[in-house]
A and B are shown apart, each in its own frame.
Chain A
Amino acid sequence: MDIGFVLQQIINGFSLGSMYALIAIGYTLVYGVLRLINFAHGDIMMVGAFLTFILLGIFTGWKFQHINMPLFFTAAGIAIILTSIVGILTYVIAYKPLLDKGAPKISLLITAIGISFFLESLFNVIANQYLGGTYQAFYFPKWFSKIIHIGDITIPILTIIVPILTILLLLLVLFILYKTKVGIAIRALAFDISTVKLMGANSNFIIAFVFALGSALAAIGGIAYAMAYPSIDPYMGMLVGLKAFAAAVVGGIGSVTGAVIGGFILGFVEVAIPGFFPELGGWKDAFAFILLIFVLLFKPTGIMGIDFERQRF
C-alpha cells in the first residue's frame, strides 16, 4: 500500500469528519439539556449554507463573480448569526410551549420532525421559485480550493482548514462550558433541570443559548460542507444530520469531546472503506447506521461512556 495514498485518505477522513463533528456538537448539547433528538438540527445546517448562498447572491447581484475574502466572511458571518436566530426561534416557537405544558416526549419528537420537514419544504419552495432550481452551485473564494503539495500528496487548502477550525471551535465550546458562568449553568441544567430553576437561573435563556450555539456550529459545518461538494439543495441536511447524530451516539451522546471524536471516526470510516474496497462505494451512506447499530449493541454509552445518571458533558 502506497503511504502517500494512506496519508491522503487520512486527511480526507479528517476533513469530512470535522463537518460531522461540527453538527454532532449541536445534537449532543441539546440532547444533554433536554433529552431530545433535535431532528431539525440537520436542516439548520442546510439553512446556514442556503443563507450564505443567498447573501452572496445579494452582494454580487446574483452573478457570483469576484467573491473575495471580506465579502465571503461577511456573508458567512451574517448567515451564521441568522441561523442561530432560526435555532432560537425553533425552541421558542415550537419546543418551549410543549415543554411548558409538560407534553410527553413523543410530542416533542413529532414536533422536531415537523420543523425539519417545514424547513426543507420552505427552502424547496424558495429555491424553486426564486433561485431557479432545487440544486444550486455554491460559490466561494478561489483561495480555498488552491492545491498545496506535501511530498507526493496533493490537497486543497479547504481540506486542511476545516479540521483545524473544528478543533479550535471544540476548544471554544469546552471553554464556554467549563470556564464561563453560562457554561456552568448549562452543565447544571443537564444535571437537574428543576433544581436549576429553583436556584434562580433563567433556564429559558440558557436553553436558548444552547440552541444558538449548536445552530451556529451547524451553520459553520453547513458552509464547509457546501464548499467541499460545491453544491447545495434543500434536502442536503437530512442525511448529513442523521449521520452526525449517529456520530454523536458513537462518541457518547451528551459529551462534546465525544461528539467530535465520533465525527472523526465516522469521517474516517466513510473515506477509508470506499478507498480500500471500491466495490463498497455505493454503500457509503449506510456505514453510519451500521456503526450506530453496533455501538447500541455493544457499548450503548458510546466511546466517552457517559453514565447518564451521573454526569454530563
Chain B
Amino acid sequence: MSAKKYFTLIAIVTAVFVAFLYFSPKIFGSYTITVLSNIYIFIILAVSYNLINGVTGQFSLEPNGFVAIGAYVTAILLLSPEIKDELYMLSEPLPLIRDVFLDPSKPFNPFLALLISGFVASLVALTLAFPVFRVRGDYLAIVTLGFGFIIRIFLINNPEISNGSMGLDSIPGFASYFLIGIICLIVVILVYNIVYSRYGRAMKAVRDDEDAALAMGVNTFKTKTLAFMTSAFFEGVGGGLLASSIGSISPDQFTFMLTFQLLIIIVLGGLGSISGSIIATFLFIGGMELLRPLDDSSWHFGPIHGIPGLRMVVFSILLLLLMLFARRGLLGDKEIWDYIKIKRRINE
C-alpha cells in the first residue's frame, strides 16, 4: 500500500468512526451506549494484549495486573485531597498519595493522568521482563499470572495507598463515550503502525523462529521487552479509562477473569490479527450479554436452567473447542482487508 493510499484509508476510517461516535448516542438507548463504551475499552485491551501474545508469540497472562495499575494510578491522580480524606477509611492516605496534585487549586489533567498510568504500567513491565526474557521458556506466563496475584495482595495490604479491599470511588468521569471511542481509535491506529513497522516485523520474526531471528541480527531480548512494555502501556491507559467510566474500582474487579476474557477474545479473533481482535470483541461482549440468563437461576429453557457461574463454564468449553477445531480463530494472523485483497485477486 502506498503512503498516500494508506493515509486516505486512515482518514476515511477516522471520519466514518467519528461520525458514528457523534450520532450513535442519538440513535441508541443508554444501555447500548454503555455496552459500546465497554466494547471500546475492551478493544484497547485486546489489541494491546494481542501485541505480546499474538504478534510476538510470547504467552503472557498479564492484562489484569496492568489494568489494575492503570486504574489505580488514574484514580489516585484524579481524586482531590479532600475526597481522599473522606474515602480512605481503613488508614490515612500517605502524604505522597494524598497530595499528588502539583497545584492544589487546579484539578489534574486527565490526559496526563492516562499517560502517567501507561508509563507506570510499562515501567513495571520492564522490571518483570528483565528476569523473564533472559531465559528461554514459557516463564512469562507463570510470572505474569503470579504478578496479577501480587498486585491484588499489594492493593489489599496497603490501605494507605489503595484504601485496601474497599477500593476507591467517586472517580471523576472524564471518560465520556466520545472520548473513549477516540482513544480506542488512536490506540488501534498506533498498534497497527507498530505491527506493520520494522519493530513489528522483528516481533513476528521472534514468534515464527527465534533462532532464525537471532541469526538475522534481531535483538530478540530487546524486541520481546519492547513488545511487552508497549502492551503494558496501552493496558494501563485502558485501565485508567475503565476506572473513569465505571467511577469506582476495587481489587476484586481485576481478577484473572479479566485476563481470561481477553484471552478468549484474541484467540477467537485470531492471534496476531488486529481487525480479528476488534471483531471478536464485539462478538464476545455481545455473547456475554446474550448468555447472561445462564447465570440467572430463575431462567430456564426446557430441561436447562440457569445456575450462577454456568456462563463461565460455557466460555471455557468454547475456548477449548476453539483451540481444538479452529486454532487460527476467525482471521488467523491476517487482517480482514488481506482477505478482501486475496478474493479480488482470485476474481481477476
Given the contacts A37-B142, A124-B309, A289-B146, A296 and B323 also touching, CB distance less than 8 Å: no
Q: Annotate B318-334 by CB proximity to A: 1 below 8 A, 0 otherwise.
A: 01100110010000000
Residues of chain B lying within 8 A (CB to CB) of residue A118: 313, 316-317, 320
Q: Annotate A108-145 by CB proximity to B: 1 below 8 A, 0 otherwise.
A: 01110111011001101100110000000000000000
B320–A122 CB distance below 8 A:
no
Q: Annotate B49-62 by CB proximity to A: 1 below 8 A, 0 otherwise.
A: 00001000101010
Taking the complex as formed, is B101 at the interface, i.e. its CB lies under 8 A from any CB of chain A?
no
Q: Which of the residues B53, B57, B147, B267 comes within 8 Å of A289, measured between beta carbons?
A: B147
Residues of chain B lying within 8 A (CB to CB) of residue A22: none
Q: Which of the residues B146, B309, B324 comes within 8 Å of A94, measured between beta carbons?
A: B324
A121 to B310, CA, bound (A): 7
B61–A113 CB distance below 8 A:
yes
Given the contacts A94-B320, A282-B157, A289-B146, A121 and B313 also touching, CB distance less than 8 Å: yes
Which one of B32-40, B131-139, B186-194, B246-254 contacts A?
B131-139
Nearest chain B CB to A283's CB is how many angstroms away? Answer: 7
Taking the complex as formed, is A266 at the interface, i.e. its CB lies under 8 A from any CB of chain B?
no
A118 to B238, CA, bound (A): 27
Identify the closest chain B residue to A125 (Cβ): B309
Q: Annotate A176-197 by CB proximity to B: 1 below 8 A, 0 otherwise.
A: 0000000000000000000000
A109 to B135, CA, bound (A): 18
Taking the complex as formed, is B143 at the interface, i.e. its CB lies under 8 A from any CB of chain A?
yes
* Count of A interface residues, CB-CB < 8 Å: 43
Q: Which of the residues A110, A246, A294 comes within 8 Å of B267, measured between beta carbons?
A: A110
Taking the complex as formed, is A50 at the interface, i.e. its CB lies under 8 A from any CB of chain B?
no
Identify the closest chain B residue to A242 (Cβ): B146
Residues of chain B lying within 8 A (CB to CB) of residue A292: 139, 142-143, 146
Q: Which of the residues A37, A98, A286 comes within 8 Å of B324, measured between beta carbons?
A: A98
Given the contacts A115-B320, A125-B309, A128-B307, A106 and B157 also touching, CB distance less than 8 Å: no
A282 to B31, CA, bound (A): 40
A113 to B141, CA, bound (A): 10
B256–A297 CB distance below 8 A:
no
Taking the complex as formed, is A238 at the interface, i.e. its CB lies under 8 A from any CB of chain B?
yes
Given the contacts A239-B149, A286-B153, A293-B131, A117 and B327 also touching, CB distance less than 8 Å: no
Nearest chain B CB to A294's CB is how many angstroms away? Answer: 8
Q: Annotate A74-102 by CB proximity to B: 1 below 8 A, 0 otherwise.
A: 00000000000000000000100110010
Q: Which of the residues B59, B154, B316 comes within 8 Å of A117, measured between beta carbons?
A: B316
Which of B156, B308, B327 has the largest number of chain A CB atoms within 10 A? Answer: B327
A110 to B132, CA, bound (A): 19
Taking the complex as formed, is B312 at the interface, i.e. its CB lies under 8 A from any CB of chain A?
yes
Which of B132, B153, B256, B320 has the largest number of chain A CB atoms within 10 A? Answer: B320
Taking the complex as formed, is A313 at the interface, i.e. its CB lies under 8 A from any CB of chain B?
no
Nearest chain B CB to A15's CB is how many angstroms away? Answer: 23
Residues of chain B lying within 8 A (CB to CB) of residue A300: 134-135
A106–B309 CB distance below 8 A:
no
Taking the complex as formed, is A304 at the interface, i.e. its CB lies under 8 A from any CB of chain B?
no
B320–A296 CB distance below 8 A:
no
Of residues 241 through 278 on chain A, the ones whose CB sits less than 8 Å from some CB of chain B are: 242, 245-246, 249
With contacts defined as CB atoms under 8 Å apart, how many contacts are there between chain A and chain B in the complex?
Answer: 118
Q: Which of the residues B147, B153, B310 comes within 8 Å of A125, measured between beta carbons?
A: B310
A242–B263 CB distance below 8 A:
no
B153–A285 CB distance below 8 A:
yes
A117 to B319, CA, bound (A): 10
B319–A110 CB distance below 8 A:
yes
Given the contacts A117-B316, A129-B307, A297-B131, A105 and B138 also touching, CB distance less than 8 Å: yes
A293–B260 CB distance below 8 A:
no
Q: Annotate B118-135 by CB proximity to A: 1 below 8 A, 0 otherwise.
A: 000000000010111011
B313–A125 CB distance below 8 A:
yes
Nearest chain A CB to B259's CB is how many angstroms away? Answer: 9
A245 to B143, CA, bound (A): 10
Given the contacts A114-B320, A282-B157, A300-B134, A121 and B312 also touching, CB distance less than 8 Å: yes
Nearest chain A CB to B260's CB is how many angstroms away? Answer: 6
Nearest chain B CB to A116's CB is how many angstroms away? Answer: 8
Q: Which of the residues B139, B141, B146, B319 comes within 8 Å of A114, measured between beta carbons?
A: B319
Q: Annotate A18-40 by CB proximity to B: 1 below 8 A, 0 otherwise.
A: 00000000000000000001010
Taking the complex as formed, is B283 at the interface, i.e. its CB lies under 8 A from any CB of chain A?
no
Identify the closest chain A residue to B132 (Cβ): A296
Taking the complex as formed, is A164 at the interface, i.e. its CB lies under 8 A from any CB of chain B?
no
Taking the complex as formed, is A172 at the interface, i.e. its CB lies under 8 A from any CB of chain B?
no
Identify the closest chain B residue to A290 (Cβ): B150
Residues of chain A lying within 8 A (CB to CB) of residue B195: none
A288 to B147, CA, bound (A): 11
A271 to B153, CA, bound (A): 17
Taking the complex as formed, is A103 at the interface, i.e. its CB lies under 8 A from any CB of chain B?
yes
Residues of chain B lying within 8 A (CB to CB) of residue A60: none
Which of A101, A117, A125, A283 has the largest number of chain B CB atoms within 10 A? Answer: A117
A106–B145 CB distance below 8 A:
no
Residues of chain B lying within 8 A (CB to CB) of residue A238: 256
Residues of chain A lying within 8 A (CB to CB) of residue B77: none
18 contacts between A and B (CB under 8 A): A37-B142, A105-B59, A109-B138, A118-B320, A121-B312, A124-B312, A125-B309, A125-B313, A128-B307, A242-B142, A249-B139, A286-B149, A289-B147, A293-B131, A296-B131, A296-B134, A297-B131, A300-B134
By Cβ-Cβ distance, the 3 closest A-B pairs, closest first, are: A289-B146, A282-B157, A118-B316
Given contacts A37-B138, A121-B316, A238-B256, 8 further A-B contacts (CB under 8 A): A37-B142, A97-B324, A110-B319, A114-B319, A118-B313, A245-B142, A282-B156, A292-B146
